[in-house]
Structure 1
Amino acid sequence: MSSTMRAFVLTGPREGSVREVPVPEATPGEVVVDVERAGVCGTDVEFFTGEMTYLHQGHAAYPMRLGHEWAGTVSAVGDGVDPAWLGRRVMGDTMLGDRTCRRCRKGHQHTCEQRQEVGIRGGRHGALAERLAVPAWSLHALPDAVDPVLGALVEPGGNALRAARAAGVGTGDRALVLGPGTIGLLTALFLRAAGAEVHLMGLDDGSLAFARGLGFAGAWTRETLPDLPFDAVVDAGGAADLPALAVDLVEPAGRVVYIGLSGRPSLLDSRELVLKDVTAVGVLSASPGLADTIAAYGSGAVDPRPLVAATVGLDQVGAVLAGERHGGPGPKIHIDPSR
């Protein structure tokens, strides 16, 4: 086996290329995964442009290897790892807590102050490569019904599942999702699976038409949004005015869920929360929702495959990060490192 592999290496803002790098080793407690699919995320784009906050906080630095939405097969295990993992199809948690701090001991490793994040934080290499090394404890096995496409959609799906659950709606309720991107559409799919009537609001006619093609007839711009009572509003967008708009649109005693992040601070009048008796929830990370997302995909309760517009090779990662569109109208691009 070759001692090197191909990986996309980001060396600075808008500077990156596919390079030959050393093949990762399965160190004690870790496994090596042959990556079959990896998704390109908005966070990856922020690293590409240099806008990602972690770069300015010291949590990340160039050069770096991106990719935190992935699926693959375990090809090597380190000391202390159950050899039964060999040959298993898996995906993995992005958030890798230190497993010793108070937050980790309470089951909140995704908020660990010392956490690494695969392809994002703390120098942990990502999955835009032929192989990836991760702790065995972070793995989730994939059933046969969850193919590599679905497997690489588990991580964003886990975020969306948590947002949908935080909305607290079901049959007879009406929910509004602000932002019909990948996370917004996934959230809408999970909300619909829970029995809610789901509406989406966006800016782009193309993305709204795509949402309608998924069966969401209530896809609106801000100007055309009907005056309806919404029991929950999920902000999955990136505009600084959306958090306040969510509170304005939600019914009294309803719930607002914040999973989108704007590039600048947003303003929210907490008096509106109090006077409307609104519950506000923030969602960071898919970690607590990964297992249930795999189950939902495996059962067919939620099928996010249409969101993947195209699957391309490592050589096209730079163009994708720069905004080049491929394939169909879906918002997600997948990478097949074997291409």
Structure 2
Amino acid sequence: MRALVLTGPGRAEVQEVEPPSAGPGQVVVDVERAGVCGTDMELFTGAMSYLRTGRSRYPLRPGHEWCGRVTELGAGVDPSWLGRRVIGDTMLGCGSCDRCRAGRHHVCPGVAELGISRGAAGALAERLAVPVTALHPLPDTVDETSGALVEPGGNALRAVRAAGLEAGERLLVLGTGTIGLLAALFARAGGADVHLMGRAEPDLGLATDLGFRHTWTRETLPGLPWHAVIDATNAAAMPALALDLAEPARRVVYIGLAGTPSTLDTRDLVLKDVTAVGVLGGSAGLAGAIDAYAGGSVDARPLVAATVGLDGTADVLAGRRPPGAGPGPKIHIDPRQ
């Protein structure tokens, strides 16, 4: 089968590789759509910290935002999975440690991240092998575009839940990329008064198109009480700003990761009595994201600017947008093209 392979920093190519087979407890999925994530781009450029720690290494097959159809079952898998449309969890825990048994498999000491770490081959390929325990079925009302947005949606939904807001309370989302916009969409669906802050006015256009009336830059941000702040940026200065802006005794949620260490003064955290929450992975939010997409309370499809075939993936990873791409931050890959 055809699969995208990262062979070194800045090097990606579509190769013919051995197709996967379903081992015990696994299924094989024909991939219908996969999203390109900032993590994939960091793996491509070599900036990803896992490459320095040895948790990831080349050659590597990326892709962790996907949907597809189950076409092969391994031993012990319920036959009802065959032919079903599914998405899958990125975080593959061991299943037997204390954290996994407590439902925190995303922080299992030996967790393998699909398409990212510990050699777990990803979804930028025609077919994918995945444990059946990682699967979530997709209803017919969730199309391929939305299906491949479930994984980032699960991350964003977890961030919104961590903000702990009541309906009508004010949320400030820092960042207008995929996760920031998704967080805004889920928060609005939950009744929050959502404001977004971008780097510059041109970054706010899609948010406005999505119906958000309160969009700001740092220079225009009003001095309102922010009942929660979600930092969905990759800027090292933003965690401290999020803490500075948050109302005392409320919450800041950190889901963005900067390329260099971020600093904040924990004295400010203590003296403001602010709760800071970090969010890693969408595992606990996947089912909720599917429900929101299926029910229509959240439509994330405008975030996808273009869909290209597998041969166009290397250009996307290198930061080149496809001709005719829309304003959205997300590019999708259809491995069947």
Report the TM-score, using the length of structure 2 for normalisation: 0.98
- Cα separation, 2, equivalents of 1:190 and 1:170: 13
What RMSD over aligned residues (CA atoms) do the two structures have, in Å?
A: 0.8
The answer for the alignment partner of 2:109 in structure 1 is: 113
Q: How many residues are matched?
A: 335
Question: Are 1:312 and 2:308 matched, yes or no?
Answer: yes
- Cα separation, 2, equivalents of 1:292 and 1:217: 25
- Cα separation, 1, equivalents of 2:70 and 2:79: 10
Question: Are 1:323 and 2:316 matched, yes or no?
Answer: no
Q: What are the Cα deviations for residues 263-288 of structure 1, in whole angstroms up to 9, with x where unaligned? A: 11111111111111111111001001
Question: Are 1:46 and 2:46 matched, yes or no?
Answer: no
1:29 to 14, 19, 25: 25
Unaligned runs of 5+ in 1: none
Tell me, yes or no, if the aligned pair for 1:206 and 1:329 is still in contact at 8 Å: no
Question: Are 1:95 and 2:87 matched, yes or no?
Answer: no
Unaligned runs of 5+ in 2: none
- Cα separation, 2, equivalents of 1:56 and 1:247: 30
The alpha-carbon deviation at position 116 of structure 1 amounts to 0.8
The alpha-carbon deviation at position 101 of structure 1 amounts to 1.1
Tell me, yes or no, if the aligned pair for 1:73 and 1:89 is still in contact at 8 Å: yes
The answer for the alignment partner of 1:184 in structure 2 is: 180
4+ residue segments displaced more than 4 Å: none
The alpha-carbon deviation at position 109 of structure 1 amounts to 0.3
Equivalent AA in structure 1 for residue 327 of structure 2: P
The answer for the alignment partner of 2:331 in structure 1 is: 333
- Cα separation, 1, equivalents of 2:191 and 2:81: 37
The answer for the alignment partner of 1:230 in structure 2 is: 226
DSSP 3-state at the match of 1:22:
coil
Tell me, yes or no, if the aligned pair for 1:67 and 1:119 is still in contact at 8 Å: yes
Question: Are 1:276 and 2:267 matched, yes or no?
Answer: no
- Cα separation, 1, equivalents of 2:76 and 2:54: 32
- Cα separation, 1, equivalents of 2:133 and 2:101: 14
The alpha-carbon deviation at position 304 of structure 1 amounts to 0.2
Q: What are the Cα deviations for residues 93-129 of structure 1, in whole angstroms up to 9, with x where unaligned? A: 0000001111111110000110111000110000000
The answer for the alignment partner of 1:148 in structure 2 is: 144
- Cα separation, 1, equivalents of 2:44 and 2:168: 43
Tell me, yes or no, if the aligned pair for 1:170 and 1:191 is still in contact at 8 Å: no
The alpha-carbon deviation at position 238 of structure 1 amounts to 0.5
Tell me, yes or no, if the aligned pair for 1:34 and 1:75 is still in contact at 8 Å: yes
- Cα separation, 2, equivalents of 1:27 and 1:252: 52
- Cα separation, 2, equivalents of 1:207 and 1:241: 18
The answer for the alignment partner of 2:159 in structure 1 is: 163
1:83 to 79, 85, 91: 79
- Cα separation, 2, equivalents of 1:249 and 1:312: 40
The alpha-carbon deviation at position 17 of structure 1 amounts to 0.6
The alpha-carbon deviation at position 204 of structure 1 amounts to 3.7
Tell me, yes or no, if the aligned pair for 1:154 and 1:290 is still in contact at 8 Å: yes
**Percent identity over paired residues:** 66
Question: Are 1:298 and 2:297 matched, yes or no?
Answer: no
1:54-73 superposed matches below 5 A:
54-73=50-69
- Cα separation, 1, equivalents of 2:176 and 2:246: 18
Equivalent AA in structure 2 for residue 254 of structure 1: R
Equivalent AA in structure 1 for residue 316 of structure 2: V
Q: What are the Cα deviations for residues 291-315 of structure 1, in whole angstroms up to 9, with x where unaligned? A: 1111111000111010000000000
- Cα separation, 2, equivalents of 1:49 and 1:206: 26
The alpha-carbon deviation at position 150 of structure 1 amounts to 0.7
1:243 to 231, 239, 262: 239
Tell me, yes or no, if the aligned pair for 1:95 and 1:115 is still in contact at 8 Å: yes
- Cα separation, 1, equivalents of 2:212 and 2:272: 28
- Cα separation, 1, equivalents of 2:47 and 2:99: 28
DSSP 3-state at the match of 1:268:
coil
Question: Are 1:14 and 2:14 matched, yes or no?
Answer: no
Equivalent AA in structure 1 for residue 56 of structure 2: A
